[in-house]
Amino acid sequence: MKVLLDEPQLQAGVARMACEISAHYGDQPLTIVGVLTGSVVLLADLIRQLEMPLRVGVLQASSYRGETSRGSMTINSDLLLDVKGRDVLLVDDIFDTGHTLAEVIPLLEQMGATSVKSAVLLRKQGRQEVKIDTQFVGFDIPNEFVVGYGLDYQDHYRNLRYLAALEPADLTDTHTGENA
């Protein structure tokens, strides 16, 4: 594994995002919606740097089925709080192909959100497949598979305090130890 962003770099990026979000919304009440599971670490760090009146909800979107390629997407909004008439900021770990945000943003709009903007820790270069804008971005990263700070490979490594790129030797099955 190769470290791409260490802990101080990540903290500085999150602080920068919080400043931009605060400058944009001011004292306006905000509803933050985190996309499970990858956003949990960013969510915890980001909300503690925001001072406007804030509500936090989550929904789950899964497209990666334990591997590094895409499967079909499932969205579970059972745990989501009411977004009707609210300004919503969607928080996700990474903007990769963009399909997750492209599915979740219209869903929140259909649910009656007044506005929906998005914040992602990472944006992967050269991977975008859908034409959507994300307003707040922590870091642009090269096209590599990354783990840590919430991001996983086969549900592992979310707890790393840094962000690392996986190397071919790391792509073994985390359960059996065999090469994936």
Least distance CB 52 / ligand IMP (angstroms): 25
| Contact between 38 and Mg ion per CB under 5 A | yes
Which residues here bind ligand IMP, judged by CB under 6 A?
38, 63-64, 92-100, 145-147, 151-152
Least distance CB 144 / ligand IMP (angstroms): 7
Q: Which is nearer to Mg ion, 22 or 77 (by Cβ)?
A: 77
Least distance CB 126 / Mg ion (angstroms): 19
Active site annotation includes 96: yes
Catalytic hit among 45, 93, 96, 152: 96
Q: Which is nearer to ligand IMP, 83 or 163 (by Cβ)?
A: 163
Which does residue 145 touch among Mg ion, ligand IMP, none (CB within 5 to 8 A, set by kind)? ligand IMP
What are the DSSP calls for the chain, one per residue? -EEEE-HHHHHHHHHHHHHHHHHHHTT--EEEEEEETTTHHHHHHHHTT--S-EEEEEEEEEEE-SSSSEEEEEEE-TT----TT-EEEEEEEEESSSHHHHHHHHHHHHTT-SEEEEEEEEEETT---S----SEEEEEE-SS-EEBTTB-BTTB-TT-SSEEE--GGG-B-TTT--B-
Residues annotated as catalytic (active site), given as ranges: 96
- Which residues here bind Mg ion, judged by CB under 5 A? 38
